[in-house]
A and B are shown apart, each in its own frame.
Chain A
């Protein structure tokens, strides 16, 4: 690696080291909270009345 490449790497690592972090317990709690808050909107989990999901409608069949 050339000197300039290494200098850039060191600068980048300094930047990344300086990032503000929170505890995993707090981050995890917030991810969970988002899921719970939006779960009611989740058609795939809650299930919606058959007519409102257009993909559940069969395509038209013709009786010959």
Chain B
């Protein structure tokens, strides 16, 4: 039936001028690129000049990368755990599951605490987003999303709304109402639109702006009221899986981690990447700022968690053990920053001494991968969500 050859019209960003146009395949030294018509014509006449520029740019990039490594290495005079040798070791650590939140019909993918230190919002593969009172384990609100795999959810600072999204490529905001007659889904507001799945979202300091990360390789800042895109952040070479905003005192930056193994720190106002770190050996699933804002931790599929100091501009600690071979899906710091809680794909939660680099405790309880983990706003407990359909509050 289909014996005709079709000319495929690809529409996208031209590799040369970056404008959105109809593209043609163009071959340069057996490498295929996509150029728009005007650029393809220029290339034809510009051939030789182009090749020289390409080669010199590549070597400039390589030498700059080398220089960056040199500069960072010059200041690497000691290891964090050496500095922390004189610090008193932590005593016996006992934490137990104090509450188990049951109700999701499938894998729990994400959760967030309300600023009131007791409410929790969680989202699941079953398409449901539930708001819980973690003290009583009662479900206060539930909404069914039009898509499955709701990979991201967040509580608004005011406690009056939640945001969530996933395979629908959007981030939607739902105001929380206590009126039993009102249908939560009716007041839904679509805020963000990406061209691939939503992997993470977070309100900024107010209910008015949301930061999102997506499988389309970008992060974006949106105005909730109008749905307008305020700033977009390009630079990751693959899906962005996580993000975290700097603590409010330290200014307008955030960190993101992706499948390109990079953690990138961004200036929210300019959209510029200010620092980038590429020491992980696999996807970065989770990033979290140290409470002072001077450092951040990351958890990766390479089974390690790492600490990066922003002022030294380098990795300063690795939290790993030979016996830990499964990826870390989610990390968070305790209130003082002394402890790092990390949830892993081997169903456990490891508690690390951030300064000394050693493991303080290992927590068992979940019956499948731990997918999400957050410490409560006052640091008295933390909550973990798992593929075993439950959430656990530990204290």
Check A31 against B295 for contact (C-beta < 8 Å). Answer: yes
B80 at the interface (CB under 8 A from A): yes
Residues of B near A21 (CB, < 8 A) are 71-72, 75, 311-314
In the complex, what residue of chain A is closest to B395 when comparing beta carbons? A55
Residue from the list B16, B87, B235, B273 in contact with A3, Cβ < 8 A: B16
Residues of B near A2 (CB, < 8 A) are 15-16, 33
In the complex, what residue of chain A is closest to B31 when comparing beta carbons? A1
Residues of A near B312 (CB, < 8 A) are 21-24, 26-28
Check A31 against B309 for contact (C-beta < 8 Å). Answer: yes
Residue from the list B61, B338, B381 in contact with A39, Cβ < 8 A: B338
Residues of A near B6 (CB, < 8 A) are none
B79, chain A: closest CB distance, angstroms: 8
**Given A35-B337, A45-B339, A10–B64 Cβ distance below 8 Å?**
yes
Residues of B near A4 (CB, < 8 A) are 15-18
Residues of A near B15 (CB, < 8 A) are 2, 4-5
Residue from the list B16, B60, B76 in contact with A10, Cβ < 8 A: B60
Check B380 against A53 for contact (C-beta < 8 Å). Answer: yes
B226 at the interface (CB under 8 A from A): no
B67 at the interface (CB under 8 A from A): yes
Check A28 against B84 for contact (C-beta < 8 Å). Answer: yes
For the complex, what is the distance from the CA of A15 to the CA of B265, rounded to whole Å?
Answer: 13
How many residues on chain B are close to A (CB under 8 Å)? 67
Check A30 against B90 for contact (C-beta < 8 Å). Answer: no
Q: Count of A-B contacts with CB under 8 A?
A: 173
A38, chain B: closest CB distance, angstroms: 4
B379 at the interface (CB under 8 A from A): yes
Q: List which B252-305 residues lie within 8 A (CB) of chain A.
A: 272-276, 290-292, 294-295
Residues of A near B292 (CB, < 8 A) are 30-31, 34
Q: List which A5-64 residues lie within 8 A (CB) of chain B.
A: 5-7, 9-10, 12-17, 19, 21-32, 34-39, 41-45, 48, 53-56, 59
B363 at the interface (CB under 8 A from A): no
Check A16 against B276 for contact (C-beta < 8 Å). Answer: yes
For the complex, what is the distance from the CA of A41 to the CA of B378, rounded to whole Å?
Answer: 9
Residue from the list B65, B290, B395 in contact with A31, Cβ < 8 A: B290
- Which of B50-58, B152-160, B169-177, B186-194 lies on the face that meets chain A? B50-58
Check A3 against B53 for contact (C-beta < 8 Å). Answer: yes
Interface string of B9-42 (1 = CB under 8 A from A): 0000001111000000000000001000000000
A44, chain B: closest CB distance, angstroms: 5
Check A24 against B273 for contact (C-beta < 8 Å). Answer: no
Check A32 against B64 for contact (C-beta < 8 Å). Answer: no
B68 at the interface (CB under 8 A from A): yes
Residues of B near A59 (CB, < 8 A) are 136-137
**Given A13-B64, A42-B334, A3–B311 Cβ distance below 8 Å?**
no
**Given A16-B276, A19-B313, A43-B379, A6–B61 Cβ distance below 8 Å?**
yes
B335 at the interface (CB under 8 A from A): yes
Residue from the list A1, A17, A27 in contact with B309, Cβ < 8 A: A27
Please name 22 pairs of A and B residues whose Cβ atoms are closer than 8 Å in the assembled complex, sorted by A.
A2-B15, A2-B16, A2-B33, A6-B58, A10-B61, A12-B235, A16-B68, A21-B71, A21-B312, A24-B80, A24-B309, A31-B80, A31-B337, A32-B87, A42-B336, A42-B339, A43-B335, A44-B335, A44-B379, A44-B395, A45-B334, A55-B135
The residues of B with any CB-CB pair to A shorter than 8 Å are 15-18, 33, 50, 53-54, 57-58, 60-61, 64-65, 67-68, 71-72, 75-80, 83-84, 87, 90, 95, 98-99, 118, 134-137, 235, 272-276, 290-292, 294-295, 309, 311-314, 316, 334-339, 354-355, 378-381, 393, 395
The residues of A with any CB-CB pair to B shorter than 8 Å are 1-7, 9-10, 12-17, 19, 21-32, 34-39, 41-45, 48, 53-56, 59
The 5 closest A-B pairs by CB, nearest first: A2-B15, A38-B336, A13-B64, A27-B312, A28-B83
